[in-house]
Amino acid sequence: MVGGNTISTDRQTDRQTDRRVPWLDNARAFAILAVILVHATEHIYIMDAAHLNAISLQSALFATIAFTIGRLGVPIFLFLTGYLLLDRKFNEDMCEKFWKRNWLGMVITTEIWIVIYDIFLRVFHFQPHWHTMSLFKNMLFLTQVKMGHMWYMPMIIGVYLCIPFAARSLQKLNAKTLIFPVGILSAYAFLIPVWRVINETLSLTKIGSVLDLGYSGGVYGIYIILGYCIKKGMLNFCKKKQLGIIVSIFFLLTVLLQIFPLAYRKTYNVWYDCGFLVICGLFLFKLFSFTKFIGSQKWWTWLSRNSFGIYLIHFPLIMVLQKSAKSLPLIMPVKVILLCGMVLAISILICRGINYFPRLSKLLLYNR
């Protein structure tokens, strides 16, 4: 993304050849499709125990699997950020350029979209009352914009601010040196939540951790460091078949961890602190380096380049189109797929239109 955004603009190039790396583009394209899928799923289905237990087993299973696939999007984005940015040589000039060009550019784009979303919510009556003070609070990141995907922007803006510091700190450390501290942080950040879900489902003693992960960037900072570790060869010992098996096992465990509470009429929707999801996502990210996507690589590259714009555009479209999709005389899985297709198609058309105006594209889509 020196040349782009977290979601789409870490420049996915090989420094020696200055050519784009196809598997990185493919990973990012998958991630944006996954994000659309998770949001479409939770707008067609009600992802709680009462609703999922009331529908057919096949439909509930589809919802859980689609939701889990969708949850892999953000981890892939964060792994990409660490992979592409943390091994850069941030001298003083580069730090200044990064903060002014990348970080400030992202802040400006986010502020513009906060205003756009505010207008959208009022025009379409999702938030009928106009409060100027609430808009200012959103723009100052004092309150959360009432759009389900916008939690990501304040998080990634904070991460980007610290990227040069983290990169300089990691310059002289190899992957082996990082295994111990990252392993300890990951155990507390990702395994305790799994244990907590099982305990609370069985009505056992509640557990938690008092270890402060704030100075490590929290769970999202760990994702980024893990992406850097992949760049430094942490999983190079794994072959394609082994990666596929591990991804499949931990994907299944992530699905089962959500199905298990349903038997007790309890709800657990996987979040990014789930150890099973982290391991599945990490090995999937490495697996992309062995995988060639079907179709034209130009298509996947375009989708990767425009993933940030699609991310910003897709959620309002889901909010507008979900009612029409729900009203169709179709089974719910087909409604999810149809909603995904409509949202993706319209998002692509809007991005293509904006891209005809380079200055506007720079402001609205954060194209660099």
Report yes or no on 254 lying in a domain.
Answer: yes
Percent of the chain surpassing pLDDT 90: 65
356 vs 204 pLDDT, higher one: 356
| Confidence at residue 1, expressed as pLDDT on a 0 to 100 scale | 38
Q: How far apart are CA 254 and CA 237, in angstroms?
A: 24
Does 327 or 199 have the greater pLDDT score?
A: 327
In a domain, 8, yes or no: no
The answer to the question of residue 3 being in a domain is: no
pLDDT in tens, 17-49: 347 899 999 999 999 999 999 999 999 999 999
Yes or no: say if 26 and 300 are a contact pair by the CB < 8 Å rule: yes
Question: Does residue 109 surpass a pLDDT of 90?
Answer: yes
Mean pLDDT of the chain: 88
Domain span at residue 354?
22-364
Is 271 inside a domain boundary?
A: yes
pLDDT value for 4: 43
Is position 11 within any domain? no
Count the domains in the chain. 1
Residues 202-209: what's their mean pLDDT? 72
Sequence-ordered alpha helix ranges (H) in the chain: 22-44, 49-54, 57-71, 73-85, 92-97, 104-123, 132-139, 152-170, 175-186, 192-201, 218-231, 240-259, 275-288, 297-305, 307-327, 332-355, 358-364
- Per-residue pLDDT tens digits for 55-108: 999 999 999 999 999 999 999 999 999 999 998 989 889 999 999 999 999 999
Q: What is the pLDDT of residues 160-201, one digit of tens each?
A: 999 999 999 888 777 777 878 888 888 778 888 888 888 888
Question: 322 near 339, Cβ under 8 Å?
Answer: yes
Residue 58 lies in a domain: yes
Q: Does residue 13 fall inside a structural domain? A: no
In-domain check, residue 263: yes
Whether the pLDDT of residue 343 is over 90: the answer is yes
Structure-token pair, residue 97: 């350029």
pLDDT at 327 over 60: yes
Q: What pLDDT, on the 0 to 100 scale, is given for residue 210? A: 62
